[in-house]
Amino acid sequence: MTAAAEFRPLSLCVLTVSDTRTAENDSSGDYLVAALTEAGHALHERAIVRDDRYAMRAIVSRWIADAAVHGILVTGGTGFTGRDSTPEALRPLLDKEMPGFGEMFRVLSFDEIGTSTLQSRAFAGLANATFLFALPGSTSACRTGWEKLIRAQLDARTKPCNLANLRPRLREI
C-alpha cells in the first residue's frame, strides 16, 4: 500500500495581458494571486503587459527558461477581437498543447455564459517543463478556470492523476 501523496507547493507566475489594466484595477490578476497562494502555492512573479505578442513572448520566455518556475497563469487576450493575441503570441512557445483544457473550459463556461463561450480561445500546454494556462480576462472566467480545472491539477493529492506529480518526469523527456 502506497502512502497518500502530500501537497507540494509550486512556484507560479501570473501574467495579465491588457491595454487598460493596471496594478490598481487588475481584478483578474488579483484573484489568481490570491487563489494560488490560498491553495498553498508560491507567487514567483507577477506582471501586466499590453496586448502585444512580442512583449508577451519576452516575459513568458524568461519565465519558462527559469527552472524555479513551475507554472504560468495568463489572463486576458484570449478573445476574438482585433487586439486579442495571446494564443498567437504564446502557442509557438509550447512544446506540447493540452487540448482538453480549452475544451473543458468552454464546456464549463457554457453553463455560465451560454454560446458566448465559442469566442473563448482559452488554452494550456507545456513549455520547457513549465505549465502554461491561458484564461480570458474576466475575473469570473479566471475563477472558473482555477476552481474547476487548474487548482486540482496543480495539487499532487488529486486522484487518479494530476499535473503536479508529472513535474519530475517532464524534465526527463
pLDDT in tens, 63-106: 999 999 999 999 998 888 888 999 999 999 999 999 999 999 99
**CATH (domain of 143):** 3.40.980.10
Q: Classify residue 77: in a domain, yes or no.
A: yes
Look at residue 94 in the predicted model and tell me its pLDDT. Answer: 97
Look at residue 49 in the predicted model and tell me its pLDDT. Answer: 97
Question: Quick one: average pLDDT of 11-27?
Answer: 95
Q: Which long-range contacts (CB under 8 A, 24 or more apart) does 152-159 make?
A: 154/10, 154/12, 154/39, 154/41, 154/71, 155/7, 155/39, 156/5, 156/6, 156/7, 156/8, 157/4, 157/5, 157/6, 157/7
Look at residue 167 in the predicted model and tell me its pLDDT. Answer: 74
Question: Quick one: average pLDDT of 54-69?
Answer: 97
Strands 130-135, 123-127: pairing is: antiparallel
Burial of 111 (0-12, 13-18, 19+ CB in 10 A): exposed
Q: Classify residue 67: in a domain, yes or no.
A: yes
Look at residue 77 in the predicted model and tell me its pLDDT. Answer: 85
Question: Quick one: average pLDDT of 127-139?
Answer: 96
CA-CA distance, 37 to 122, in Å (whole number)? Answer: 22
pLDDT category at 30 given cuts 50, 70, 90 is very high
Question: Quick one: average pLDDT of 43-62?
Answer: 97
For the cut 90, the answer to whether the pLDDT of residue 172 exceeds it is: no
- Look up the domain containing 161 and give its range: 11-170
Question: Quick one: average pLDDT of 20-27?
Answer: 94
Q: What is the mean pLDDT of the chain?
A: 92
Distance of CA 153 to CAs 53, 62, 74, 93, 131, Å? 27, 24, 16, 21, 11
Look at residue 2 in the predicted model and tell me its pLDDT. Answer: 46
Apex CA 69: angle with CA 137 and CA 158, to 5°? 75
Q: Classify residue 120: in a domain, yes or no.
A: yes
Q: Which residues, 6 or more positions from 88, have their beta carbon under 8 angstroms from its beta carbon?
A: 53
Q: Is the pTM of this model over 0.75?
A: yes
Q: Are 87 and 102 within 8 A, CB to CB?
A: no
Residue at grid coordinates 509550447: 94
Tally of structural domains, the chain: 1
